[in-house]
């Protein structure tokens, strides 16, 4: 990712995984550093209500259509604007060394109109700051997306598995664990003298994880039955150089 040097990917990932760990009946603010007034991530039940950083107010006005009638925005436009603002704010919140600190509101909810899965906020950051990588990953995975599968793509930096794309119902912490596991597979076969073009691991019940590299991106697809994994095997075999 050409802008990887300026985006604190690992810290953003850690912060959003911390959000996921908030229990379903808990509400509060994950702020960075000692002063909660500098902003933070407003969290309810493990979901992001909003993330806001000091100095980002004007940006929110821009995204909401500065001067335009808010009532004229439809639900999806409003949600998209808030999610984008949250993503941009999150990058600012994570830029320095301040560590996240949880401040509970007890059970008093924010009454948020929208909440977002942490994984969706992270992918919003990716779409904003690594759009080409995100688009390439989406294109690689597009033929494989189905209800029986989970799929994700990762780049690696500073030993962190950074998700570029994720499909299916799984959390950011699960995605990170998947990336770390998948990245260990080629090292397990170094005695065989080469990095595998692709690998499969399967359980006795037929759940399968397929892993492959394309350029410097690692892809992982999980299939829940043998028919789906056989189709994945056929697809990956077709990509092998003749």
Partner 1 sequence: MNIDEAVTRACDRIPGLVRGALVMLPDGFLFGATRGATFLDLEPLIRSAARCMALRDLPALGGRGPSVSVEHLFAIHEQLVVFEAGRRDPKLALLVVAEAGHNPAFVLGATRLALADLEVALDLEKWNL
- Pick between residue 156 and residue 170 the one whose CB is nearest to partner 1: 170
45 near partner 1 (CB under 8 A): no
In this chain, which stretch among 33-41, 113-121, 133-141, 221-229 interacts with partner 1, using CB under 8 A?
221-229
Task: Rule CB under 8 A: choose which of 110, 207, 213, 214 binds partner 1.
Answer: 207
Give the shortest CB-44-to-partner 1 separation in angstroms.
19
Hey, how many other C-beta atoms are within 10 angstroms of the C-beta on 205? 9
- Is 79 strand, coil or helix? helix
| 81 touches 64 (CB < 8 A) | yes
Task: Rule CB under 8 A: choose which of 86, 89, 115, 229 binds partner 1.
Answer: 229
26 near partner 1 (CB under 8 A): no
| 130 touches 180 (CB < 8 A) | no
In angstroms, how far is CA 12 from the centroid of its own chain?
9
Please work out the total of residues on this chain that contact partner 1, with binding judged by CB under 8 A: 41
Which are the contacts of 121, defined by CB distance < 8 A and separation ≥ 6?
Answer: 16, 48, 51, 83, 86, 87, 90
213 near partner 1 (CB under 8 A): no
Hey, how many other C-beta atoms are within 10 angstroms of the C-beta on 94? 24
Here's the x/- map for partner 1, 101-140, by CB under 8 A: it reads as ----------------------------------------
In angstroms, how far is CA 201 from the centroid of its own chain?
23
228 near partner 1 (CB under 8 A): no
- Is 9 strand, coil or helix? helix
Give the separation between CA 133 and CA 156, rounded to whole angstroms.
Answer: 12
Contacting positions for partner 1 (CB under 8 A) = 150, 168-170, 174, 177-178, 180-181, 184-185, 187-205, 207, 209, 222, 226, 229-230, 233-234, 236-237, 240
């Amino acid at each position: 990712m050409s802008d990887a040097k300026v985006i604190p990917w690992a810290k953003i990932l850690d912060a959003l995984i911390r959000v996921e760990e908030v229990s379903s009946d808990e509400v509060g603010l994950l702020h960075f550093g000692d002063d909660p007034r500098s902003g933070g991530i407003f969290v309810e039940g493990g979901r992001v209500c909003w993330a806001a950083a000091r100095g980002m107010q004007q940006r929110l006005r821009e995204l909401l259509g500065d001067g335009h009638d808010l009532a004229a925005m439809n639900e999806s436009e409003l949600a998209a604007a808030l999610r984008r603002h949250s993503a941009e704010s999150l990058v600012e919140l994570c830029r320095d060394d301040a560590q996240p600190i949880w401040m509970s509101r007890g059970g008093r909810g924010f009454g948020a109109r929208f909440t977002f899965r942490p994984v969706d906020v992270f992918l919003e950051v990716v779409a904003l700051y690594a759009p080409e990588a995100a688009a390439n990953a989406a294109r690689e995975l597009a033929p494989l997306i189905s209800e029986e599968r989970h799929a994700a793509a990762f780049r690696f930096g500073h030993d962190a598995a950074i998700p570029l794309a994720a499909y299916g119902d799984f959390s950011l912490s699960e995605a990170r664990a998947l990336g770390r596991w998948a990245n260990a597979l080629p090292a397990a076969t170094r005695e065989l003298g080469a990095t595998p073009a692709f690998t499969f691991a399967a359980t006795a019940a037929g759940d399968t994880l397929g892993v492959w590299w394309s350029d410097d991106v690692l892809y992982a697809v999980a299939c829940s039955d043998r028919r789906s994994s056989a189709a994945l095997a056929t697809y990956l075999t077709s990509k092998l150089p003749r």
